[in-house]
Structure 1
Amino acid sequence: MTSTTPAAFFDVDGTLTTATSMFRFLEYRLAAEGNPPRAYREERQRLRAMTAAGVPRLETNRAYFAGYRGSSVSAIAALAEEWFRTELRLGGFFNGHVLSALHEHRGAGHLVVLVSGSFRACLDPIARYVGADVVLCSEPETESGRYTGRVQRPMIGEAKSEAVRDLAARRRIHLPSSTGYGDHESDLPLLRSVGRATVVGTDPVMRELAARNNWRVLPGAPSPAPLPLPSTTEGVRS
């Protein structure tokens, strides 16, 4: 069966958005659960130390989701909706250049796909807002409506390429005429899966690859202002 549909595949954090959704939400969630500000700083420092020590992104992603062990899936989803509404009120959450490109793809009738190491609680509100058709993301394990703290296959690196090819087979997507957007080396498997690649931002490695391969380049955007944090929300872990 011939593939006929072009698609546009967007990395989210640092590409479509100007901040890392997982960490913006983590800060918001910890505050909502009644933790002091140092709780987020300590967790962020722990994960940054792993990265600085050369721990692969796959493992830091798993370490992030370990912190959700025992949390209610529905409560986290509701809190993420609240977080996203806060981001929209604050402004500056989306990279306007990339969001405009996404709207152009939608107008051209292309399938719009978000591909991210983040998870559905954070990504579903974003997808609805921008009008994405499909979300390919990390899928934390759940049992009886709660997160176990485990994730088997984070949507990072080669996992993105495999997910794109699998979707293409299922949805008859024509990858040579499709476009990918990414800002980091971990997005290269995604960008190399499609016929047209776009690098977002100023990462020197990515800019060099863009110049070498004649890929399109879009500007990055400043990070949004500090996030207004909620007061304690009862029942986030209930």
Structure 2
Amino acid sequence: MGRVVFFDVDGTLRAAGTPSTGAFLAGRKGDFERVAAAESAYARGEMTNQQVSDVDATGFAGLPTARVDVWLDELPLIGGIDVVVGHCRQRDWLPVLASLAWTAVTEHLARRFGFALSGGPELEAVEGRYTGRVLTPWDEHDKRDAALAVAAEHGISPSACLAVGDSRSHLPLFAVVGGSVALNASAACAAVASRSLVTQDLADVIPLLEALAARSAP
């Protein structure tokens, strides 16, 4: 394994200008405004991700897990995801989802496109239905630590890792990897990234990843 490349989900794989994965699912379960308000508070630094997760989780109570997975088939995504995953695999780079999205979301995308996983916040489910409780809380530091643990499992140092993200939740990971790309990102995220890009096609990130990889040997 030559490198590990970490990809965020919301704002990165999700199509720009569309609701977050949490808000998308909230629209299906009928509590969009409540979840969107909590996510906005997180973006302003007024709520933790665990607090947002607790708010969001209650709306899942009683929902079949299979129904949520079907809803995710309609998730609006950026173009070129399959191209980028294929490029990573051809280069012997491991593409990994490192996200604060629910594991129901990341596991769906991993099956669909061939990503590896690094964990995330998990909804409690009993006998195929969500309970409305958070089984595993997660924050941006957990995201960083779990991502680096995946790299360590493959014998890859943080300096040989690359990351693509868009928001404050990716900043701890950006601070420790060898190169980073801010994709359709907030100003704070773009300010600390190695490269910045605005696009509706994830394949446009490939030349930037290649340039970052060329700066140092894996």
**TM-score, scaled relative to structure 2:** 0.76
Confirm whether residue 8 of structure 1 aligns to residue 5 of structure 2: yes
Equivalent position of 1:217 in the other structure: 196
Query: Unpaired runs of 5+ in structure 1?
Result: 31-38, 88-92, 223-238
**What SS is found at the alignment partner of 1:116?**
coil
Aligned to 1:132: 115
Answer whether contact 1:68 1:147 (CA < 8 A) is retained. Answer: yes
In the alignment, is residue 107 of structure 1 matched against residue 107 of structure 2?
no
Instruction: Tell me which of the two structures has the higher relative contact order, counting C-alpha pairs closer than 8 angstroms and 6 or more residues apart.
Output: 1
Provide the C-alpha distance between the structure 2 equivalents of 1:43 and 1:101, rounded to a whole number of angstroms. 34
Residue in 2 that maps onto 1:200: 183
State the SS of the aligned residue for 1:112. Answer: strand
Say if 2:72 is the partner of 1:84: yes
Q: Structure 1 or 2: larger strand share?
A: 2
- Name the count of aligned residue pairs: 197
Contact map agreement 1:139 1:154 (CA 8 A) in 2? yes
- Contact kept? 1:5, 1:174, Cα under 8 Å: no
Aligned to 2:172: 189
2-structure distance, mates of 1:65, 1:106: 34
After the TM superposition, which residues 171-182 of structure 1 pair with which residues of structure 2 at under 5 Å, given as runs?
171-182=154-165
Q: Would the aligned equivalents of 1:202 and 1:220 in 2 still touch at CA under 8 Å? A: no
Q: Which runs of 4+ in 1 moved over 6 A?
A: none
Higher gyration radius (CA): 1
> What SS does the aligned partner of 1:15 have?
coil
Computed over aligned residues only, the root mean square deviation of the Cα atoms, in angstroms, reads 2.8
**Corresponding letter in the other structure for 2:54:** R
Identity %: 25
User: What's the counterpart of residue 61 of structure 1?
Assistant: 53
Residues in 2 aligned to 1:25 and 1:68: alpha-carbon distance in whole angstroms: 9
- Output the CA distance in 1 between the equivalents of 2:188 and 2:82: 23
1:21 matches 2:11: no
Instruction: Render the CA deviation track for 1:21-47: whole Å, top value 9, x for unaligned.
Output: 22212222x2xxxxxxxx434433553
Instruction: Determine the structure 1 residue equivalent to 2:142.
Output: 159
Whether contact under 8 Å (2:58, 2:133) holds in the other structure is yes
Change (3 A) 1:129 1:48: closer
CA separation of 1:101 and 1:70: change in aligned 2, threshold 3 A: same
Specify whether residues 145 and 133 from structure 1 end up closer, same or farther in structure 2 by C-alpha distance, changes over 3 A only.
same
Q: Displacement of 1:167 after TM fit?
A: 2.0
